[in-house]
Amino acid sequence: MFFEVSISRRRRFRPAGAAALALGLAAVTGCSSDSGAGDDTVKVGLVASLSGTYKPVGTDLRAGFELYLDTHGNKLGGREVELIVADEGDGPPTAVPAATKLVKKDKVDALTGLVGGGSVNAVLPLVNQAKIPFLGSNGRPVIKDLEYVWTTSFLSDEPGKAIAPYVKEKVDGPVYAIGPDYQGGYDELRGFTDEFKRVGGELANPDGKTTWTPFPKTTNFMPYFAEIAKTDAKAVYCFYAGKAAIDFAKQYAQSDIADLPLYTAFVTEGSVLQAQGDAAKDIYSVLNYAADLDNAANRKFAADWTAKHDTQPTTYAMASYDAAAVLDKAIADAAKNGDVTPQTINKAIADLGQIDSPRGAWEFGDKAHSPVQAWYLRQVRPDGNQLANVMVQDLATLGG
């Protein structure tokens, strides 16, 4: 079920393994309500990719959460915060031990972050057994047991679902779909291909199915581009992030298919855009945030971000900033009603209602515990003397 949300749209601002999981679960002997929240300090654990392919994404997740703390006196809900950061690496083999330490040894009151969908799936049994709220701040797969699971970003199939009707309308002919062969890639591309076919679109892939590139070892995309050139593709749709996005965009611009319109999720988002340079010009992307959205929350967020960083704020930073904002409100509400524990924080999150966010107002849907929010089409264009992801138009409102 979809809901409509009032969102400001004008622009002004320019600024694993199973063994590791088993060990992790065995180590959890109780919930983190023993963390010492009674001493008016709240412990928050943040797990993000601070090394590996998705280091640029993980770095922004950490920076977004830290920005909220920096601009709110290092307090959430009026309580001092101890933020403990751990490295997710490239997926479950490192994410599970990192999260296990935060829950078992550090006894955090809430967990946030996680870049990869595979990491989310691997860590969830730990979260459920410990009974602590998890606020994911990047793409998340569909999950059945949502009692302690929330996301301030999106479900991983939503970007592709949001842009598919637009691509069908604008492209006169079949579209080639390509992405990385791991959980996040499967979810992202499924969202596009399922919706694209539903609205009457045709894939240019010879077998009618997405082409998968081995993750994380694929750094040379030229052979894939050569195969695309042999088809009747009139455009390409893909999902890549981090270092893979840099490689993909640079090589695409030098390939035999450079003249084909490129529609993406995340390929030009964040610091990778600087590394891509002119190769990124004109690339279209779909996201739930653009740095030039004109609303009061975004003007403050963007100004605070650019005061500390030499890049535009990203959806990664924004979602993590919002995770802190959610915890801020939830901890304050829990304190009004009694003790602050992981369980009372989780209950307060469920009752929050609308969140005033840089992306525009949103709220958690009851069915998926993910934001009901607008999605935007952006294009890489010159903005002053720099390239930027400039918002072009609204695409859809999804969530539930």
**Could you write out the DSSP letters of every residue in 225-241?**
HHHHHTTT-SEEEEE--
Q: Cα(211)–Cα(289) distance, rounded to whole angstroms?
A: 27
| SS3 assignment for 97-137 | HHHHHHHHHCCCCEEEECCCHHHHHHHHHHHHHHCCCEEEC
What is the per-residue pLDDT for 235? Answer: 98
What is the distance of C-alpha 330 from the center of its chain? 21
Give kind and range of the element (H or E) at residue 71.
Answer: none
CA 240 to chain centroid: 12
Residue 103 corresponds to which tokens in the numbers above? 């829950």
Cα(315)–Cα(64) distance, integer angstroms: 9
pLDDT of amino acid 1: 31
For the whole model, what pTM was predicted?
0.85
d(CA 330, CA 112): 14
The three-state secondary structure class of 45 is: strand
Q: Which residues are within 8 A (CB) of 157 and not within 5 positions of it... i.e. 6 or more apart?
A: 142, 187, 188, 190, 191, 194
Beta-bridge partners for 82: 43
Which amino acid is located at 324 in the chain?
A
∠ Cα 216 218 223 (to 5°):
160
Is a pLDDT exceeding 50 seen at residue 38?
no
Q: List 212's β-bridge partners, or say none.
A: 179
DSSP state of 387: E
CA 222 to chain centre: 27
Give the whole-angstrom CA distance, residue 313 versus residue 15: 9
How far apart are the C-alpha atoms of 397 and 245, rounded to whole Å? 26
Are 302 and 13 in contact, with CB atoms under 8 Å apart? yes
Whether 293 contacts 314, CB under 8 Å: no
Of residues 191, 338, 244, the one with CA closest to residue 53: 244
**Beta strands 175-180 and 235-239, pairing class:** parallel
Band (pLDDT 50/70/90 cuts) for residue 37 is very low
Tokens describing residue 266: 């995340």
**CA 234 – CA 229 distance, rounded (Å):** 10
Q: What local confidence, expressed as pLDDT, does residue 39 receive?
A: 64
Structure tokens at 139: 């793409």
* 8 A C-beta contact, residue 205 and residue 175: no
What average pLDDT does the chain have? Answer: 90
Beta pairing partners, 112: 46, 135
Give the pLDDT band of residue 273 (cuts 50, 70, 90). very high
> Mean pLDDT across the stretch 365-392?
94
Grade residue 34 by pLDDT with cuts at 50, 70 and 90. very low
Query: What phi-psi label fits residue 189: left (phi over 0), alpha (psi between -120 and 50 degrees) or beta?
Result: alpha
**pLDDT tens digits, one per residue of 74-133:** 999 999 999 999 999 999 999 999 999 999 999 999 999 999 989 999 999 999 999 999
Interior/surface letters 194-221, b for 16+ CB within 10 angstroms, e for the rest? ebbeeeebebbbeeeebbbbebbebeeb
Convert the pLDDT of each residue in 149-202 to its tens digit: 999 999 999 999 999 999 999 999 999 999 999 988 999 999 999 999 999 999
Beta strand 371-383 with 363-364 is: antiparallel
